[in-house]
């Protein structure tokens, strides 16, 4: 597995990235980690805790428009039970984004109160976004900065090149997110990241990936799955394995190659595309109750 990881993230690349995040961390009071609401655990980098140390962290479950509502609620409860403030957001529509500043005010209340006690009437605090590629970091920054419109220019004491958005009367957001590497030590995490497109397809066999996704979909959302691909119980039970299922779906969609054979490669790409774009419906692949791979959030 480490070999796969190294194809996209060389150790040198990871060290450079970590240093960059650590440099930005010095400038902020809190970190907002964006994860994919469909795979909150797999899209979280467990090294983050060590990188940010005691800096307060909040979690944004993004792409909640594509995740199952009930599961998203379970995740939020789970984070809160573990004393981590979490918020579900949809950066495409902007839903939930308004809850970001109130959440920061709650998390940093003690710090704000202490600053006020020291005589600062309106203290300004700073926050940065972090997350693995493709979880929606840029979308979130664009969305929240568009809503507030104000950009703070370079100021004395702040490293040149750092730009800040004023997102409320007491919060500024660093305009550049910290990009974390996806971390996977097990096949399930790697597969989940590949299903959502967080790691590139080339490193995994497309057909195998689509077959694994089909197995999961039949298990998690059988009704939704059968409706989308116009299958019935009889057809489903006629499939001995997920390769048969892939063939049945390919045939249903008319994906044939010369000689009447089914183009399973094309069918695989189509299934993955439909999942990634949310066309298969609102699906969360992992729930807190299944957590057993990692001890810490």
- Among 62, 206, 242, 268, contact with ligand G4P (rule: CB under 6 A): 62
Residues that bind ligand G4P (rule: CB under 6 A) add up to a total of: 16
- Among 46, 99, 123, 133, contact with ligand G4P (rule: CB under 6 A): 133
DSSP 178: E
Q: CA torsion sign, 225 to 249 to 290 to 36?
A: negative
Interface with ligand G4P includes 68 (CB under 6 A)? no
Interface with ligand G4P includes 63 (CB under 6 A)? yes
DSSP 152: E
CA distances from 201 to 76, 153, 210, 246, 272 (A): 30, 39, 11, 18, 10
Give the whole-angstrom CA distance, residue 139 versus residue 142.
Answer: 5
Q: Which is nearer to ligand G4P, 183 or 248 (CB)?
A: 183
Q: Which is nearer to ligand G4P, 62 or 242 (CB)?
A: 62
Interface with ligand G4P includes 250 (CB under 6 A)? no
Q: Spell out the residues 6+ positions from residue 142 whose beta carbon is closer than 8 angstroms to its own.
A: 91
| Phi and psi, residue 196, nearest 5° | -85, -10
Give the whole-angstrom CA distance, residue 138 versus residue 9.
Answer: 20
Which residue is at the shortest CB distance from ligand G4P?
136
- Among 8, 105, 138, 247, contact with ligand G4P (rule: CB under 6 A): 138
Interface with ligand G4P includes 43 (CB under 6 A)? no
Interface with ligand G4P includes 92 (CB under 6 A)? yes
**Could you tell me how many helices (H) and strands (E) the chain has, helices first?**
13, 10
Residue from 16, 45, 21 nearest 193 by CA:
45
- Among 139, 145, 196, 284, contact with ligand G4P (rule: CB under 6 A): 139
Give the whole-angstrom CA distance, residue 79 versus residue 62.
Answer: 14
Mask of contacts with ligand G4P, 266-285, x by CB under 6 A?
A: ------------x-------
For ligand G4P, which stretch binds (CB under 6 A), given 45-53, 113-121, 136-144, 182-190? 136-144
| Contact call for residues 192 and 39 (beta carbons, < 8 A) | yes
Interface with ligand G4P includes 182 (CB under 6 A)? no
Q: How far is the CB of 258 from ligand G4P (least distance, A)?
A: 32
Residue from 80, 32, 38, 76 nearest 52 by CA:
32
Interface with ligand G4P includes 39 (CB under 6 A)? no
Q: Which is nearer to ligand G4P, 56 or 96 (CB)?
A: 96
Interface with ligand G4P includes 24 (CB under 6 A)? no
Interface with ligand G4P includes 40 (CB under 6 A)? no
Residues that bind ligand G4P (CB under 6 A): 62-63, 65-66, 90-92, 131, 133-139, 278
């Amino acid at each position: 597995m480490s070999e796969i990881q190294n194809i996209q993230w060389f150790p040198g690349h990871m060290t450079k990235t970590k240093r960059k995040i650590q440099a930005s961390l010095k400038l902020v009071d809190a970190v907002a980690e964006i994860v994919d609401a469909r795979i909150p655990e797999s899209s979280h980098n467990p090294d983050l805790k060590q990188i940010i140390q005691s800096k307060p962290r909040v979690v944004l479950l993004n792409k909640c428009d594509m995740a199952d509502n009930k599961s998203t609620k379970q995740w939020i409860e789970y984070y809160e039970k573990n004393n981590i403030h979490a918020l579900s957001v949809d950066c495409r529509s902007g839903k939930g984004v308004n809850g970001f500043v109130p959440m920061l005010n709650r998390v940093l209340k003690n710090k704000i109160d202490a600053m006020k006690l020291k005589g600062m009437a309106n203290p300004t605090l700073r926050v940065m976004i972090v997350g693995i590629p493709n979880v929606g970091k840029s979308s979130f920054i664009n969305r929240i900065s568009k809503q507030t419109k104000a950009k703070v220019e370079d100021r004395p004491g702040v490293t040149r090149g750092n730009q800040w958005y004023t997102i409320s009367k007491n919060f500024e957001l660093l305009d550049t997110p910290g990009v974390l590497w996806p971390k996977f030590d097990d096949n399930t995490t790697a597969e989940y990241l590949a299903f959502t497109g967080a790691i590139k397809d080339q490193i995994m066999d497309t057909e195998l990936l689509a077959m694994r996704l089909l197995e999961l979909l039949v298990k998690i959302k059988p009704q939704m799955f059968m409706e989308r691909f116009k299958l019935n119980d009889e057809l489903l039970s006629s499939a001995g394995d997920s390769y048969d299922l892939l063939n049945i779906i390919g045939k249903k969609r008319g994906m044939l190659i010369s000689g009447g054979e089914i183009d399973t490669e094309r069918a695989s790409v189509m299934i993955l595309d439909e999942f990634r774009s949310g066309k298969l419906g609102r699906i969360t692949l992992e729930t807190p109750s299944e957590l057993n791979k990692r001890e810490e959030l």
